[in-house]
Amino acid sequence: DNTWSIGNIKGLADLGDGPGPIGNAKVTTHLPFTIGGAGEFGSGSYILRMGIDDGSALYVPEKLPLNQVAARVTFTSGGMKISQFTGTQFDGGVSLLGSMTWANAATGPAYAGRFSVVNMDMRQLADVLLTDEDARQRASGVGDLHLQFKGLLPADGSPLDSLTAKGDFDIRHGHFGDIPVLKGVMAQAKDANAATVGEAAATFSIADREIDFQHAAASAPAVGVMGQGKLGFDGSVNMSFIVTPL
């Protein structure tokens, strides 16, 4: 018999403070896990199933936390599948479903998945990401994001070259006066409440290192804004807006 199996091995992955790939990624983790599986000696064929319950992770440079992590991941000789990944971040729910295949050495690993964030507190996110104190104080609202994506992780070149995605987002009870692409638009409205958002929403796609907004809209006490156009990963902006007083 040339097969092997393991079952219900429990452990704890506290990683991130030392050298190695996790340390280089500047991420710390606390992940209680259970792992089991089976395989065949000599052929390289195997299947491993891993579960994580009530874990946590932190991206150290920006202090971005992820709490209450639960995951179910299956590994095989040809790739991996994430059948469950959920957590909480800034009072919002985070979820991920996806897969990756790494059998094709010529193109590098290929990945695809769906990612969503629901009811994230934008003020808490701004406290972590924004450096301007006034902008942090003005940040408000809750946001949702839904994204389908796929791409490659090549040995040479950037993974952004092959990234394609489509999705939508909306922000409720927020403030968009500090968003660079909208500052000039909102300057057309003289009302002090113009940047207080009732809701902002957009549908978009990503390809060729650009975000293409097919439809973007925002409503505020003083104005309504509709727009479309593209934002480049290099910082280029090609957007047009229509501002309508309310």
Q: For residues 54 and 31, is the Cβ–Cβ distance under 8 A?
A: no
Q: How far apart are CA 42 and CA 44, in angstroms?
A: 6
CA of residue 142 relative to chain centroid, distance:
16
Q: How many residues does the chain have?
A: 246
| pLDDT at residue 69 in the model | 97
- Tell me the pLDDT of the chain (246 aa) as tens digits: 689 999 889 999 888 766 555 556 688 889 999 999 999 988 889 999 999 999 999 887 778 899 999 999 999 999 999 999 999 999 999 999 999 998 777 888 999 999 999 999 998 998 888 888 887 887 888 999 999 999 999 988 899 999 999 999 998 888 765 566 665 565 555 555 555 667 889 999 999 999 999 999 888 777 788 999 999 999 999 999 888 876
| pLDDT at residue 61 in the model | 77
Is 115 in a helix, a strand, or coil? strand
| pLDDT at residue 188 in the model | 58
**End-to-end CA gap in the chain:** 77
Q: How far apart are CA 87 and CA 70, in angstroms?
A: 6
- Say how many C-beta atoms besides its own lie within 10 A of residue 145's C-beta: 16
Q: How far apart are CA 210 and CA 49, in angstroms?
A: 36
- Say how many C-beta atoms besides its own lie within 10 A of residue 171's C-beta: 22
Sorted by sequence, the CB contacts under 8 Å of residue 105 that are 6+ apart come out as none
Tokens linked to 13: 């992955």
Q: For residues 198 and 169, is the Cβ–Cβ distance under 8 A?
A: no
Is 124 in a helix, a strand, or coil? helix
| pLDDT at residue 143 in the model | 93
Q: For residues 167 and 148, is the Cβ–Cβ distance under 8 A?
A: yes
Q: Write out the H or E segment, with its range, that includes residue 139.
A: none
The candidate with the shortest Cα–Cα distance to 173, out of 133, 214, 221, is 221
